[in-house]
Amino acid sequence: MAALTGLGPAVSARAEPPFDHQHTAWTSLLQRHVVLAPPGFSSGLRYAAMQSERALLLAYLASLSAVSMASYQDWSKRQQLAFLVNAYNAYTIDLVLSRYPDLRSIKDLGNMFQSPWKKTFFRLLGEERSLDEVEHGLIRAPGKFDDPRVHMAVVCASAACPMLRNEAFTATRIDAQFDDSMRRFMSDRRRNRFEGAPGRSGVLRVSKIFDWYRADFERGHQGFSSVQSVFARYAEALADAPAARADIRAGRYRLEFFDYDWSLNDAR
């Protein structure tokens, strides 16, 4: 009996539940409530339907909150990144649902003193967090993930945002998912497009995201050295005519940014 006494603390300690790196519960919710708009470059969310299943959303969020920093640090980088992106998106939706349907934009959840992204309203990795802390403090932390494609993965519940995918990001597929999200966003002519006659200096109108986060695309990560290098890589998505694509690749255009549409991405 004496030999067993040392096991007391380990047996009584509260074990951390195993984490589902497939994020199955999140994918299930997204598949039921995300609506892809033809031809598949943007999406909306049925917030009313998601509201009716908010208990399932809260259960998923509880599984995220249960992860300790020690466990997180033992994961691969891809597991960590998938965890953070899914957490950001899920908590963003939960924030919207906290007042839905009495809002027209996520910005309605802020005030003149504090934006909704700076609200501390959930616990993640052992600390009380805001959405800004997850995006800028964890996901965009210099030297951690260094992937500008993340701007097409984290979403702000707004019409001008990159599409919310109808599946969770997972470590085994996250690189391909980022690539796919990037291509879909660049192919959405409402947000990014070349205007002008082929052979003449045209106008390339793109999302404000490339203005706000220009620096992230200038650090050489994922083969991007500038926003112009992004547009050159996705010239086929931005224009149909071969001459227009050649202009984009050569940088023969005037760059302009669309106004950002903050209206709720509600698929009523």
For residue 33, pLDDT over 90 is answered with yes
CB 174 within 8 A of CB 28: no
Cis before 148 (ω within 30): no
Q: Per residue in 109-139, pLDDT tens? A: 998 789 999 999 999 999 999 999 999 999 9
Q: Per residue in 162-214, pLDDT tens? A: 999 999 999 999 999 999 999 999 999 999 999 986 556 799 999 999 999 99
**How many C-alpha atoms does 7 have within 13 Å on its Cβ side?**
5
Ordered DSSP codes for 147-194 = -GGGGGTS--SBTTSPPPPSS---TTTHHHHHHHHHHHHHH-TTTSEE
CB 105 within 8 A of CB 263: yes
> Taking the model in full, what pTM does it have?
0.92
- H helices of 188-250, where? 209-212, 227-233, 235-238, 242-250
Q: Per residue in 221-243, pLDDT tens? A: 999 999 999 999 999 999 999 99
